[in-house]
Amino acid sequence: MSLVTQLRSERAQLNETLQALAKKDAAGEQLSAEELQQFTSLETQIGELSAKIARAESAERLNAAAAVPVNESARGINGPPAGAHVTVTDNAPPGASVAQVARLLAAAGGNQQHAAQMAQEGGFGQDIVQTLSTVTPGACGVLIPANMAASVIEALRPRSVVRSMGAVSLPLVNGNMTLPRIKDSTVVGYIGTETDIPVTDMTFADMKLQAKKMGALVPISNDLLSFAGINPRVDSIVANDLLISTGLAEDLHYIRSAGSALLPKGLRYWALPGNVVDAPVDPDLKAIDLFLGGLMLRLEAANAAMANCGWLMHPRTIRWLQSLRDGNGNKAYPEIDQGQLKGYRFGLSTQIPVNLGAGGDESEIYFVDFSDCYIGETGQLSIAYSTEASYKDAGGNMVSAFQRDQTLVRVIAHNDFGVRHVESVAVGAKVKWGAGM
C-alpha cells in the first residue's frame, strides 16, 4: 500500500469518528467535555494528515517526473543516461534539526564534541555535524545557527494562535526596532475665496520593540534519547514538545501579559479603555449579536485597516456559541463549523483564562486586526540541558528530572510583541458563557 493510500485511509477513519460526533451535536444531544476535546483533537489530526497527504502526493508526482526507464536514455536505447536529474523532497518534520541537536547534546552528557562525533557516526546530516562541531557553547547553552532557528520560528506559526492568526514577524536588529505611526492626521477641508487654509500638523507616536528573554523548559524521557541514530518519529516527538512549549509561552504573554521591562505587553493591555466591553449576562441571541457586533464596530469606527481581522477566545466560549439555536432549532452561528464567526475566522487558546472575576468563571473575547500586530525576534535560539534539575509541572508541583528519568531541555529565545495602532484591538470582558460546561 502506498503512503498516500495509507494516509487517506487513516484520514477517512478519523473523519468517520468526527462526523458521528457532529451528527450527535446536530441532533441536539449535549456533547460531554471528553467528546468536545475529542472533536478538537480530531480536527487537528485531520488537518495534519491532509497536509501530509499533500506533501506525499507532491513527492510522488516529482518522483514520477524525474524517473528514467532503465533501458532508455537521452542518447539512445543502449547508451548510458546523459545525466542524473534528482529531485529531493525533505519530509523531515519542522524543527527536526533543532530537535536532533537537543537530543544529541543530552545523549552526550552535554559534551559538544562527543555529540558531534555521535552525529557523524550516526549518519546525521552535515548541518547537524557542523553545528555541533563549530558552535562555541555560551553561558546559556549551545547557540543554534540562524537557518535552523528560522525553521523553528516558522514551525511555531501553527502552534502559536497569535502567529497563526497573522501577526507580522519582524527581525530585531541589535535587539531593537521602532515603528512610527500616525496618531493624529492632518485636517483637510474646503475653503472660500481669500480664506486662509488652516494649518494642522500630523502627530506621530512610536511602537518600540525591544528583545525580551523568553525561556521554555521541555522534559524529555531518557528512553527517547537512547535512540542515538536517525529516528524521524523521535525527532518529531522532541520537535513537537519544543514547539508546543514555546508556542504556549508566546501566547500566554502576547495575549494577556501586562508588560514590563522584562515581559512583552499583551493584547489585553494594548486595548484602549473604551475598547473593553463587558459581556451581557444570561443574554438572548439578540444581545449576543449586538455584543459581538459592538466589538467589531469599535475597530470600524476608528477607521482601522481591517486587513486581517479575527477573533481569539477560549474553546469553552466557541463551543457555547456553537451550541446556540434560534427559535426554529437551527444553529445560530452555523459558520462556526467552517472556522468563522460573523464573517471572520477565529483562533482558540487555553492561554485565555476562564477563571477571571470574583466568581472565578469569567473569560474574554478578543477581536483584533492582526495586520497591526508585530512580533519582533532576533532569530536566534540557544539550547541547554540538565538531567539533575527540577521543574514545576502544570499544577505547580516540583518534579525532579533525575527521579523521573528525564532530561530537561531549556530553550532560550529573544522577542517582543507590540500593536502599531492600539485602536485595532477590542476586548469583550466578563464572559461567563459556557461556565459549567
* Dihedral pair phi/psi, residue 413, rounded to 5°: -135, 165
Domain shared by 336 and 206, yes or no: yes
Residue 200's pLDDT is: 62
Domain shared by 45 and 156, yes or no: no
Domain termination residue (choose one: 16, 37, 66):
66
Tell me which amino acid residue 30 is. Q
Q: Is residue 80 part of a domain?
A: no
Closest CA to 170 of 404, 415, 369: 415
Ranges under pLDDT 50 in the chain:
70-89, 137-140, 228
Domain shared by 273 and 157, yes or no: yes
* Grid cell listed for 204: 506621530
Q: Please check whether residue 298 is in contact with residue 274, taking contact to mean a CB–CB distance below 8 angstroms.
A: yes
Pure H helices in 67-157: 96-107, 112-121, 126-134, 146-155
Residue 275's pLDDT is: 96
Residue 365's pLDDT is: 98
Residue 140's pLDDT is: 46
Domain shared by 251 and 369, yes or no: yes
Q: How many domains does the chain have?
A: 2
Domain shared by 256 and 394, yes or no: yes
Closest CA to 406 of 218, 219, 237: 219
Domain shared by 32 and 171, yes or no: no
Domain shared by 211 and 348, yes or no: yes
Q: Is residue 323 part of a domain?
A: yes
Q: Is residue 105 part of a domain?
A: no
Domain shared by 205 and 322, yes or no: yes
Which residue range forms the structural domain that includes residue 7? 3-66
Q: How far is CA 111 from CA 117, 126, 149, in A?
A: 10, 18, 21
Domain shared by 169 and 23, yes or no: no
How far apart are the C-alpha atoms of 406 and 384, rounded to whole Å?
14
pTM for the model stands at 0.65
Domain shared by 346 and 248, yes or no: yes
Strand, coil or helix: 255: helix
Domain termination residue (choose one: 66, 91, 106):
66
Q: Is residue 97 part of a domain?
A: no
Domain shared by 255 and 351, yes or no: yes
Residue 333's pLDDT is: 95
Domain shared by 38 and 159, yes or no: no
Tell me which amino acid residue 92 is. A
Q: What is the CATH number of the domain that holds 246?
A: 3.90.1690
Residue 193's pLDDT is: 73
How far apart are the C-alpha atoms of 142 and 128, rounded to whole Å?
12
Q: Is 137 exposed, middle or buried (0-12, 13-18, 19+ CB in 10 A)?
A: middle
How far apart are the C-alpha atoms of 46 and 98, rounded to whole Å?
26
Q: Is residue 281 part of a domain?
A: yes
Q: Is residue 108 part of a domain?
A: no
Residue with cell 530585531: 172
* Grid cell listed for 250: 508566546
How far apart are the C-alpha atoms of 416 and 199, rounded to whole Å?
38
Domain termination residue (choose one: 66, 94, 113):
66
Q: Is residue 60 part of a domain?
A: yes
Q: Is residue 124 part of a domain?
A: no
Pure H helices in 156-218: 161-164
Q: Please check whether residue 424 is in contact with residue 369, taking contact to mean a CB–CB distance below 8 angstroms.
A: yes
